[in-house]
Chain A
Amino acid sequence: MNKIENGTMVDFTYKNTKMKGVLVSSSEGNLNIKLMSGYNLLVPENSITDIKPLKTIAQTGGFEEKDLIFEHGPKKVAFIGTGGTIASRVDYITGAVKPVLNPGFLRESVANLSKFTLDISLLEPVLSENITPNDWILFAKTVKDKLSKNHGAVILHGTDTMSYTASALSFMFQNLSGPVVMIGSQRSSDRPSSDAFLNLEAGLEFAASNFGEVGIAMHQNTSDNAVALHRGVRARKMHSSRRDAFRSIGGNPIGKYENGSVTISHEARALSDETVLLDKLETSVALIYFHPGLTAEDLAAVTEKKRATVIMGTGLGHTGTRLYPVIRDIVGRGDHVLMTTQCLFGSVNMNVYSTGRELLKLGVIPLSNMLPEVAMIKSMHVLANYPDGEFSKVMLSNLRGETVDREFLGEVP
């Protein structure tokens, strides 16, 4: 059989039945043919007879590339694409959801677009699990450049590591002249039920409002009626699939979009006259999840070359005593050990139990209710931008709202 190109209309016989359809793809001996009814049929190549090409239809899987300049309304917002579900479509050839930047769907789908002029910049799309600290620096530089020309910025980002990027940007920007709002979606935008549309609508409104920090704008609940703005250094993805996966841990969101209007909490940082970017990061930092099976050897192996080690300890901030010699060695050689809690909610307090007190004596730095990932990223930032002698002091001071001074009784955990 001659190779028939994808996108060709074909007549064929399958199981004694004459059929007609468009060849979508062929892989591993199977043909994927879209029948006239719209159904795709997956058929073993060798079970098909009398296949005849008729005519070539438009290439499947392709999308019209629409223009990237959106000049509609008076509010100038930078629109930075990095990839992720929010910017992705189904790849009909391989059948997977892939990052494909196609902001053309915005015009059709985002209700308030006419209020904004978007300054679009599309970075090489990357799945959020593939993002590394180098990407954070690239994102930060792009934001700084864009903020000089726009009021605020939205960043489209995959949700898996969105809170890491948000934390990194939070620390890297000492001051911001405009809001930086990260937006993702849990349902890809090829689905009519995608959460992307409302998140984008809200994200643009947040980016046009007045606060000077990095936030994450995602569905507040499962309904399409409210979007929460979470402080970048307090947000966490707490569910693998729900729209309202992102939560502000240990406090309330700093903003809300509901019924077409934005409210920003008075606790949000104010705008600055200019944006100050500290774009250095020291990446040799370890994040260790303590567990009953963790051995001293494991800890020693992972932390050997690390300048700082953030431990997710149990409860109020503990580890097994078997790890003490390794911790003593790390501190002894001049590197840092920091303690957070794997409970995520609540603070470490290492004065309550004797094990905690001993860890403090070994030189472990207790990080209050700072989230473990945030502590890791803050360490990267502090190691690279402050004198080493100040490490402990800076880590313990609240730079961007990464610790919550007062926790209240509430819904969670």
Chain B
Amino acid sequence: MSSRVMIGLEIHIQLAGKKLFCDCTTESAIETVNGKVIERRLIATTGESGKYDPAAVYEKSRSRSFNYSVTDNSCLLEADEEPPHSVNSDVLKKAISTALSLNCQVVDRVAYMRKIVIDGSNTSGFQRTAIVGFNGYVETSRGKVGISSLCLEEDSCRKLEEHNGIVSYSLDRLGVPLMEIATDPDIVDEEHAVETAEIIGKKLLLAGWARKAPDAIRQDVNFSMGHGRVEIKGVPKLSTIKAAIAYEKERQTWLAELSPILKGTNWGRLKFQDVSHLFRNTKSKVIASNLKAGMNVYGTVLPGLAGYLKGEKYRMGIELADVAKLFGSGGIMHSDELPGYGVEDEIKGLVELLKPGKGDGFTIIVSTHKVIGLIQDAMIARLKKLEELDLPETRVVTEEGTTHYLRPLPGGERMYPETDVPSIAVEEALLEAARKISPKSEEELLAQLVSEFGISKQDASVILSTTQLETFQNYNLILGDSKLATRVILQAIPEMENKTGRPISIPDLIPVLEEAGRRKWDRQILERAMDLYFVEHMPLGDLIRSDEMKPIGGNELKSMIILLHNEAPVNPKNIIPRIRSRTSRPFSPAEALALVKEILG
């Protein structure tokens, strides 16, 4: 049975400024405060109906513990050591404004919920989230795409690493305001998905409210083609959306073909046994080092799966490896890819021991006595699900756009009211304030940049398309010179990055710009100063006091002009470039012109 492809997007945008429920900033200057780490565990609890959420039950079975690095932009709230403060009214206003610009209805009361998440990414074990708007739409080239909801929620912790059942997170990202915009499943194919994401993303970026960070915008893709909804999490780039949808389409197509073939297989025959003794002298480096580390090799028959594990079309091996990886295993080695990975001499022994029948495959896996039973149960459960084409689940995407099983889909069970935050009435005054800051369209912004700041339309358009409007406004304010600010953004910084081979950090740059603004440096001086600072690593204090940066004026400037005049006559038109050709030190053009007048009499 083939069914219409349905695609929906969830677009997450981090907002810059203060966090959602405390006074910490969204940016962190240092990784950890005194290397302080908090160790915690989370326990699955029931929702308001007294039932467990399937995703929570699954996580519970993995029994991991969590370490959190305390950062300078986290307080007791992120440590789950105090109740939330009141909601950040600035970001609430921005969320309402965004909802209005997406043609959404705005709720009468913003009511915060707790969404149970026990993978450790929230210290509390839940994420605070509230619906702000619903039932909106955006226009696309292929018709309207509905916006089912806009939520304002807390971002989760940033994952640092996972090792031996301990997951390490940083508290820096926890509590950063996150707008989640969910579309209806109106998107018809991968191109349309990219277009829709672009339209919504651009609107948000132009507003200038997003964090300036690589992961400020993340997408989840909801995909279905008749076998249930698959949620693909954390798609970082627009190009990956396309690849992920294409991959998922292909995957579900071959699974649909394979399903009738697998019907009725006795999965109970999948039974791991310790086969470590066959690998005493193995040539596989991975296996040898794991055996040395006290792990075991387990093997099992994979009933009916020969040729389907890694064939032209079928990839059941990956489906099983995904399960193994969730329990800390590196993956599996199966009969469709053996001999390989240095496993060759052992195959005969394996076949004798496991006795795969006609059509059976087999696999080996490195794991421990404690976990192998869990892996076996999880693999059987997964095979049953795939056989039934019961495909709804949460998947994660790689850079290349391949998707992998992550966990069951969470249900409504995981939500219950956040009782520590009173609901907020959306009064007319708040709506009015939100309308006032309504994000402008690209055309409106272009016109404003050109007329207000006198920069060229071409420069203005580059500033907008690279989402540097706010940066521009900021630099203009510091430098007091819109053309210089444009030059810094569009030329000086990229050149500096080319020279140093790394991105220029904005907090590093600001003090240099402040000096430039204070001392009225022109373009050449500022660029020379940036050179000294970023390429030659001269400290700012030394830089300002250096001979090169010492302003030239008074008698010294006058002598230079007289000298130049003696070489060839100076006039108001040629004096500035001629002084510039002689020195790279800063000088006042007005003073130079006055001196020329004086000398010419």
Interface residues of A (CB under 8 A from B): 14-17, 24, 30, 32, 34-44, 47, 57-58, 60-64, 90, 92, 95-97, 105, 108-109, 187, 189-194, 197-198, 222-225, 240-243
Contacts and interface: CB of A to CB of B under 8 A. Distances in A.
A191 B125 contact: yes
B412 A34 contact: yes
Contact of B416 (A44, A90, A224): A90
B417 interface: yes
A241 B82 contact: yes
Interface in B49-101: 49-50, 56, 65, 76, 79-83
A63 B416 CA distance: 14
B76 A44 contact: no
Given A40-B111, A191-B124, A62 B423 contact: no
Contact of A90 (B42, B48, B56): B48
A109 B52 CA distance: 13
Given A17-B105, A38-B115, A192-B118, A242 B81 contact: yes
Given A30-B109, A187-B80, A193-B80, A38 B125 contact: no
Contact of A92 (B48, B131, B149): B48
Nearest to B53: A38
A41 B45 contact: no
Contacts of A41: 107, 111, 131
B229 interface: no
Interface stretch (B33-41, B292-300, B333-341, B356-364): B33-41
B350 interface: no
B48 A42 contact: no
B449 to A, nearest CB: 36
22 contacts: A15-B135, A17-B105, A36-B412, A37-B415, A38-B413, A38-B414, A38-B415, A40-B111, A41-B107, A42-B109, A42-B111, A42-B423, A47-B108, A60-B48, A62-B50, A64-B50, A109-B43, A192-B44, A192-B45, A194-B43, A223-B38, A242-B76
Contacts of B411: 38
Interface residues of B, number: 50
A191 B111 CA distance: 18
Most buried by A among B41, B113, B115: B41
B123 interface: yes
Contacts of B42: 192-193
B50 to A, nearest CB: 5
B126 interface: yes
A38 B412 contact: yes
Nearest to A37: B412
Contacts of B419: 90, 95-97
Q: Is the interface of A mostly helix, strand, loop or mixed?
A: loop
A63 B415 CA distance: 16
Given A17-B135, A60-B49, A192-B44, A90 B417 contact: yes
Contacts of A38: 113, 115, 411-415
B416 A222 contact: no
Contact of B40 (A30, A47, A97, A223): A223
Contacts of A60: 48-49
A36 B149 CA distance: 13
B241 to A, nearest CB: 23
B43 A92 contact: no
Interface string B117-135: 0100001111001110011
Nearest to A7: B49
Contacts of B423: 42
Interface string B138-151: 00000000000101
A64 B76 CA distance: 34
Nearest to B80: A193
A197 B125 CA distance: 14
Given A92-B48, A92-B417, A95-B417, A40 B113 contact: yes
Contacts of A63: 46, 50
Contacts of B108: 42-44, 47
Contacts of B397: none
Contacts of A192: 42-45, 56, 116, 118, 124-126
Contacts of B114: 191
B43 A197 contact: yes
Q: Which 9 A-B pairs have the closest CB atoms?
A: A192-B125, A38-B415, A38-B412, A15-B105, A223-B39, A42-B109, A192-B42, A17-B135, A241-B82
Nearest to A58: B49
A13 to B, nearest CB: 11
A44 B124 CA distance: 31
A255 to B, nearest CB: 20
Nearest to B133: A15
Contacts of B38: 222-223
B105 to A, nearest CB: 4
A357 B246 CA distance: 88
Most-contacted residue by chain A among B48, B56, B105, B417 (CB, 10 A): B48
B423 to A, nearest CB: 5
B126 A241 contact: no
Given A192-B124, A242-B81, A16 B416 contact: no
Contacts of B40: 193, 223-224
Contacts of B115: 38
Contacts of B111: 32, 40-42
Nearest to B41: A224
Contacts of B113: 38-40
A43 B131 contact: no
Interface in B201-241: none
B239 to A, nearest CB: 29
A144 to B, nearest CB: 33
A241 B56 CA distance: 26
Contacts of B39: 223-225
A191 B45 contact: yes
Contacts of A64: 50
B389 to A, nearest CB: 23
Given A92-B48, A189-B45, 20 more contacts: A24-B48, A30-B109, A35-B412, A36-B412, A38-B412, A39-B131, A39-B149, A39-B151, A39-B415, A40-B415, A63-B46, A90-B419, A95-B419, A191-B114, A193-B40, A193-B124, A223-B39, A241-B81, A241-B82, A242-B76
Contacts of A24: 48
B81 A222 contact: yes
Contacts of B129: 39
Nearest to B124: A193
Interface string B146-182: 0001010000000000000000000000000000000
Contacts of A243: 81
B586 to A, nearest CB: 53
B222 to A, nearest CB: 12
Contacts of A40: 111, 113, 415, 417
Interface in B404-424: 411-417, 419, 423
Interface string B14-47: 0000000000000000000000001111111110
A240 B151 CA distance: 31
A223 B166 CA distance: 14
A61 B79 contact: no
Nearest to A14: B105
A43 B107 CA distance: 8
A194 B44 CA distance: 10
A108 to B, nearest CB: 8
Contacts of B118: 192
A256 to B, nearest CB: 16
A57 B413 CA distance: 14
A39 B111 CA distance: 9
Nearest to A36: B412
A39 B133 CA distance: 12
A197 B50 CA distance: 18
B355 to A, nearest CB: 39
Interface string B386-413: 0000000000000000000000000111
A56 B217 CA distance: 41
Nearest to B415: A38
Contacts of B41: 197-198, 224
